[in-house]
Amino acid sequence: MSGQGSVGARRLDETSTANPTLTLLGAYSRDWVLPLFAEHLEPVEGSVSAEWFHERVAEALQEAREDKEWQGDRSPSSRCAWWVKQRWLDTEMSDTGVRYRLSPYSLRALRFVREIAEGESTVSGARLGSIAHAVRRLADMTSPDRFAQAQRIDEEIAELQRRKQAVLEGRAGTATTAQLSEQLREVLAMTRSLPRSLFNAWPAALLQPNNRP
């Protein structure tokens, strides 16, 4: 790789791993954090009280643990503190205490997801997963640091091991109709941009529904 190409690659890696918008899109928690932001903070003009938002975070955490097998154990207040540190949330002080508002980086992440989702008004967990995978892949492709790449792979392996253990222990559950529909919409959205000739090259078995019991 040329010197100029190496510099460009380093800049891409720095952007993909340090830019708060991309770190939010690539976070393992993005499939419940972004919908939380979209529902409770994005529509608000101004800011919300910390106490009120901590309650919303607690509700979202409980739902994530039940539906998404989320294993995080941070409290709502510590999560918000982390999001402020990550620059996903901004804070301001009032007579009643700390208040939260979405940062410009989080607003940009929400707009980005909606644009890719072809104008859908809801944030798709399946689409967020596709974006997060692409962001992580970009970081690996542009990073000259082999140890950083290995660490990201270790994180993915650990996440897969947690999911595997949940399946073996019977905690994973069966996908709901809504989850299946969302995943199907994501597949259809991605394939709409592919040339039709590509489908002719695919094995017929891949294009047929799975009818096995």
Give dist(CA 84, CA 78) in Å, integer.
10
CA distances from 189 to 43, 120, 126, 127, 170 (A): 26, 11, 11, 9, 31
User: Within a domain: residue 14?
Assistant: no
The pLDDT tens digits for 9-63 are 445 444 445 788 888 888 878 888 999 999 999 998 889 999 999 999 999 988 8
Tell me, yes or no, whether 83 lies in a domain. yes
69 domain-assigned: yes
Domain enclosing residue 52, as ranges: 20-111
Q: How many domains are contained in the chain?
A: 1
CATH number at residue 67: 1.10.10
96, part of any domain: yes
**Is the residue at 124 inside a domain?**
no
Reference 44, options 10, 12, 93, 89; nearest CA is 89
29 part of a folded domain? yes
Distance, in Å, from the CA atom of 181 to the CA atom of 50, rounded to the nearest integer, reads 35
119 inside domain: no
Can you tell me whether residue 117 is helix, strand or coil? coil
pLDDT tens digits for range 102-130: 999 999 998 888 777 654 444 556 666 66
Residue 46 lies in a domain: yes
